[in-house]
Every structure is written in C-alpha cells, then in structure tokens.
Amino acid sequence: MTREGLKFPVIAKPLIAAGAANSHQLSLILNQNGLTKLNPPIVLQEFVNHGGVIFKVYVAGDHVKCVKRKSLTDISEEKLNTSTSENYQVSNFSAQNQSDHESFAELIEAAEMPPLSFVNEVANRMRDALKLHLFNFDMLRDSRIGTRYLVIDVNYFPGYAKMPEFETVLIDFFIDIAHQKRSSESGNSDQMENKN
C-alpha cells in the first residue's frame, strides 16, 4: 500500500485524454520504484486482474449496448513480486503476455457478458448523475470476485463506429429526442391556451 492509498500494480494515464497524441499511451507500473519514471500530469488507477476482457458500454439516451473487447492480460503473482522498476507500455505488455495456447478471440468468446439488467441499471444511473445522453464507459469484472464490476473509464463524446448496429441505435435515439421535443412543445402550447 502506498501513502496515496493505491495498491500496486497501477495504470498511469495522461491527464489530458482528448485530442493529444499521447492520450491513449497507458503504462503499467508494478511497484513504487516505477513511479519515478513517469512524466506528470497523470492519473493513477489501481490495476485489477480481469481475465483480459473489457466490457465497453455505449449509451444513447435509453438505448444501451454492451460489447466485449480484449484488454490487458492478468498479471501473475511472479510478475507482481518483482523488484524491478521497469514500466510497461500497455500495448507492449499485452502482446508479450498473450497466451500461446489460447488466442484473444477464444478468450473473448468464452467471457461471460454481465447481466443486461445490471448493465442497464449502471448506464441509467450514470446518465442521470452525469446529465449526459451520449456517452460510453468501460467496465471490468474483477477476477477475484466474479460478481464485482468496476467502471474504469467514461467517455463523454465517444465514437460509436465500433458499436454493433450503431446506425439503428443512433437513429432510434434521435427519433426519441424528436418525440420528446414535440411532446414538450405540445404541452407548452396546451398550457398557453389554458392561460388564455
């Protein structure tokens, strides 16, 4: 445990996450010594073994889609107990630790999706708390506690091109917005007539 309350390993993310060339250059830091090699400003986030699969949840109003994607592989106890101060670029670490006998495609295929009702509840609560209608977030399943999910990233203006059926979802979202606007305008007209 560090003075800051984080447990190693940690992921170091650039503080500026949009528009910068290095905004997606993440580093895996195994211990306190690795912190000295970082260039601030950064955000540190505790790393949790999660089976090498991340769940990307896309939200467009009331429409929610969850998809599986490859992520960092789990970190072995042997690697955690190393005294080296070496840091790993996340993309390089993933490539080095890919299992020979099980491809990422098989790993992702075998990963169980989180319950849809749970994903919808998280998405709805985040939408209400953030006051956003278009966003996505990344979620992990903690390998130690299979029913524990962690939201690790929120994007307030995401790209939807990788979301399955994104055209249909976005069209439905815009139709919903148009109906809500029409209902709101109709309600305002009725109130004005009643006042007269």
Tell me which of 115 and 32 has the higher pLDDT. Answer: 115
Question: Domains of the chain by range and CATH?
Answer: 10-188 (3.30.470.20)
Greater confidence (144 vs 88) lies with 144
- How far the first Cα of the chain sits from its last, in Å, is 68
Give the per-residue pLDDT at 191. Answer: 56
Measured CA to CA, the distance from residue 57 to residue 119 in angstroms comes to 8
Which burial class, exposed, middle or buried, applies to 136 when counting CB atoms under 10 A from its CB (0-12, 13-18, 19+)?
buried
Q: Kindly tell me if the per-residue pLDDT of 21 is higher than 60.
A: no
- pLDDT of amino acid 84: 59
User: What is the reported pLDDT for 193?
Assistant: 56
Mean pLDDT of 60-75: 90
Average pLDDT over residues 35-43: 85
Q: What is the pLDDT of residues 82-97, one digit of tens each?
A: 655 556 666 545 444 5
Answer whether 0.85 is exceeded by the pTM: no
The per-residue pLDDT of the chain, averaged, comes to 81
Residue with tokens 């993310």: 13
Structure confidence by residue, pLDDT tens digits, 153-193: 999 878 888 888 888 989 999 999 899 888 888 766 555 55
pLDDT at 129: 96
